[in-house]
């Protein structure tokens, strides 16, 4: 008999047997309201009938085409369809299987295209667990520790994290831009800097939205110095934030967009998108992979785009997100240990602090565990695990938001004792 490695952490203890929309059902038949969505992946809900039908059709037709050997119809159709939802001008795509792989692909592209070695990433960012992606990740040392030496050519600059310092958005923006200029003057000269790589909303690092002025400042510096602006929208894409892309909130134009998670409703698929003139500078044959753009994953992604656009899921994320936020804020007024409620759309977090203002991972975990016992599945994030996050599928209804919020209210009260 073999066993799973202990290295895998289990957030809920649930043995999932089936998924239906916003619910997971365990082997005993107990139903859980799933506000984790497989870490923000199953945005169309578990097993959406149109995604299931598309995948079933494809699985019986062609499972593995292998896109560096032959082209296949699901990939061509998906590329065509993505043109409707990608930011204007980002019309060249490359596909891989995971967020981390697409981060690596973006890194390879910006280094090859600019001939410059360094990338500036931002403090609290999460970009994945492969060596390059972990090197760019500073959401917590657990991703980096015991894995050194990590990749060189990475410089970390401050993120405009107003919540962390108790600052206004303006103060946080001014500080972060000043420090970025200092970094460009003292650590990585513009001529050595290939790209700025940033999440529009810090995900694993604690659900902290960037500010419009900060992203505008990055864009301006990027244009001035020939530096590329890479947005990691692995967690913020596909309607999660109440707009199709996270950056739609900020009015900033990326040079490279990284996407994964919500793209294929749970099938492993990720992509980078960039303008043709940039993508053509990738060295021929330098990007690829055995499983990239798997035919079943592409068929599922195509159905996912249709469901998101035709069923109005982006608008639903905005409306349900506003309701959930209101409910979370109401709970916060009754519990002093909840220091902040923040996020965009259906990407919301609630931060716990001790009475003396320190991040309180233990209190967040206690509330999250209590919620799981009461049938509401949640995850934590943040460097100390101090933030409980709420990321239901975008198909969530108003009644399900009310039900989830009521469980949350009881769970926080019970955990506080
Ligand atoms: N970037 C961001 C913003 C993410 O949230 C994640 C996953 N949480 C990744 C990259 C890595 O994606 P994957 O786990 O699919 O490699």
Q: Nearest CA to 113 among 321, 261, 293, 256? A: 256
Whether residue 157 sits in one domain with residue 56: yes
Q: What is the DSSP string of 92-141?
A: EEEEESSHHHHHHHHHHHHHHHH---EEEEETT----SSHHHHHT--S-G
- CATH number where 335 lies: 3.90.1150.10
Distance 102 CA to ligand 1 centre (A): 9
Return all residues near 253 (Cβ < 8 A) that are at least 6 apart: 87, 89, 219, 229, 247
Q: Which atom of ligand 1 is nearest to the CA of 97?
A: 15
> Which of the listed residues 310, 330, 360 is the one where a domain comes to its end?
310
Tell how far the Cα of 138 is from the centroid of ligand 1, in angstroms.
Answer: 13
> ipTM of this model?
0.99
Residue 270 alpha carbon, nearest atom of ligand 1: 15
Q: Which comes out higher in pLDDT, residue 79 or 417?
A: 79
Sheet holding 23-26, edge to edge: 16-20, 23-26, 31-34, 376-377
* Centroid of chain to Cα 7: 22
Give me the mean pLDDT over the 265-280 stretch. 98
208 with 347, same domain: the answer is no
Binning pLDDT at 50, 70 and 90, where does residue 417 land? Answer: confident
Residue nearest to atom 5 of ligand 1 (CA): 235
Mutation pick for ligand 1 pocket among 121, 126, 210 (CB with most ligand atoms within 8 Å): 126
Ligand 1 pocket, residue 332 CB under 6 Å = no
The pTM for the full model equals: 0.98
3-state secondary structure of 277: helix
For ligand 1, whether the C-beta of 128 sits within 6 Å is: yes
Q: pLDDT digits over 110-167, tens only? A: 999 999 999 999 999 999 999 999 999 999 999 999 999 999 999 999 999 998 999 9
Q: Is 40 within the bounds of a domain? A: no
**Domain range holding 287?**
51-310
Q: Please tell me whether residues 282 and 293 are part of one structural domain.
A: yes
Place of tokens 């053509």: 280
Question: Residue 232: inside a domain, yes or no?
Answer: yes
The count of structural domains within the chain is: 2
Is cis: bond before 215, omega within 30 of 0?
no
Residue 96: count other Cβ atoms within 10 Å of its Cβ.
24
pLDDT at 311 > cutoff 90: yes
Ligand 1 center to 219 CA (angstroms):
23
Question: What average pLDDT does range 234-255 have in this prediction?
Answer: 98
**Are residues 199 and 158 both part of a single domain?**
yes
Looking from the CA of residue 258, the nearest atom of ligand 1 is 1
Instruction: Specify whether the CB–CB gap between 387 and 207 falls below 8 A.
Output: yes
- Residue 98 alpha carbon, nearest atom of ligand 1: 15
Same domain assignment for residues 292 and 371: no
Distance of CA 247 from the midpoint of ligand 1 (Å): 17
Mean of all residue pLDDT scores within the chain: 97
Which among 310, 325, 344 is the end of a domain?
310
Q: Mark whether 317 and 301 lie in a shared domain.
A: no
Percent with pLDDT over 90 in the chain:
97
Asked if 100 and 157 sit in the same domain, the reply is yes
Same domain, residue pair 65 and 107: yes
Tell whether ligand 1 has an atom less than 6 A from the beta carbon of residue 262: no
Q: Is residue 43 part of a domain?
A: no
Strand order in 256-259's β-sheet?
A: 92-96, 270-274, 256-259, 228-232, 193-198, 118-122, 154-157
Report the distance separating Cα 329 and Cα 350, nearest Å. 9
d(CA 387, CA 48): 29
Find all residues with CB under 8 Å of 143, minimum gap 6, and list them: 126, 129, 134, 137
Q: What is the CATH number of the domain that holds 138?
A: 3.40.640.10
pLDDT at 9: 84
Tell me the per-residue pLDDT of 325-341, one tens digit each, with 9 for 90 and over.
999 999 999 999 999 99
Does residue 74 belong to any structural domain of this protein? yes
Query: Over the Cα atoms of the chain, what is R_g?
Result: 21
Same domain membership, residue 255 and residue 343? no
204 and 144 in one domain? yes
Would residue 171 count as lying in a domain? yes
Contacts of range 29-34, beta carbons closer than 8 Å, 24 or more positions apart: 30/375, 31/375, 32/372, 32/375, 32/376, 32/377, 33/375, 33/376, 33/377, 33/392, 33/400, 33/403, 33/404, 33/407, 34/377, 34/392, 34/393
Residue 288 lies in a domain: yes
- Cα 410 to averaged position of ligand 1 atoms, centre (Å): 31
User: Is 330 contained in some domain?
Assistant: yes
Pocket test for ligand 1, best of 260, 268, 289, 387 (most atoms within 8 A of CB): 260
* Residues 316, 296 share a domain: no
Residue 41, in any domain of the structure: no
Choosing from 310, 330, 348, the residue where a domain stops is 310
Question: What is the per-residue pLDDT for 10?
Answer: 86
Do 206 and 77 share a domain, yes or no?
Answer: yes
């Amino acid at each position: 008999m073999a066993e799973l490695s202990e290295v895998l952490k289990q957030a809920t203890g649930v043995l999932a047997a089936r998924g239906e929309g916003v619910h997971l059902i365990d082997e005993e038949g107990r139903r859980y309201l799933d506000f984790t969505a497989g870490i923000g992946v199953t945005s169309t809900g578990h097993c959406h009938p149109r995604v299931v039908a598309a995948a079933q059709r494809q699985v019986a037709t062609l499972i593995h085409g292998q896109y560096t050997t032959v082209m296949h119809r699901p990939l061509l159709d998906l590329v065509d369809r993505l043109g409707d939802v990608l930011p204007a001008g980002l019309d060249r795509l490359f596909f891989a299987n995971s967020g981390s792989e697409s981060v690596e692909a973006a890194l390879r592209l910006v280094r090859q295209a600019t001939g410059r070695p360094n990338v500036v990433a931002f403090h609290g960012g999460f970009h994945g667990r492969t060596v390059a992606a972990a090197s760019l990740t500073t959401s917590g040392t657990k991703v980096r520790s015991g894995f050194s030496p990590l990749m060189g050519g990475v410089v970390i600059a401050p993120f405009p994290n107003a919540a962390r310092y108790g600052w206004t958005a303006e103060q946080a923006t001014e500080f972060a831009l000043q420090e970025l200029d200092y970094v460009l003057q003292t650590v990585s000269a513009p001529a050595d800097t290939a790209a700025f790589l940033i999440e529009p909303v810090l995900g694993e690092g604690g659900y902290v939205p960037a500010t419009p002025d900060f992203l505008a400042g990055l864009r301006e510096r990027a244009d001035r110095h020939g530096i590329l602006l890479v947005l990691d929208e692995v967690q913020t894409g596909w309607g999660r934030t109440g707009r199709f892309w996270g950056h739609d909130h900020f009015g900033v134009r990326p040079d490279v967009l990284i996407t994964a998670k919500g793209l294929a409703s749970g099938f492993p698929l990720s992509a980078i998108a960039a303008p043709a003139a940039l993508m053509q500078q990738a060295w021929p044959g330098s990007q690829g992979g055995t499983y990239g753009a798997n035919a079943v994953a592409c068929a599922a992604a195509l159905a996912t785009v249709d469901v998101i656009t035709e069923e109005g899921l982006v608008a639903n994320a905005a409306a349900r997100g506003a309701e959930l936020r209101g409910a979370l804020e109401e709970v916060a007024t009754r519990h002093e240990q909840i220091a902040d409620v923040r996020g965009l759309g259906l990407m919301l977090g609630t931060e716990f602090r001790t009475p003396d203002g320190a991040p309180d991972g233990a209190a967040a975990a206690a509330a999250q565990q209590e919620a799981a016992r009461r049938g509401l599945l949640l995850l934590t994030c943040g460097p100390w695990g101090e933030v409980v996050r709420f990321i239901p599928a975008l198909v969530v209804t108003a009644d399900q938001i009310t039900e989830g919020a009521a469980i949350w209210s009881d769970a926080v009260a019970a955990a506080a004792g």
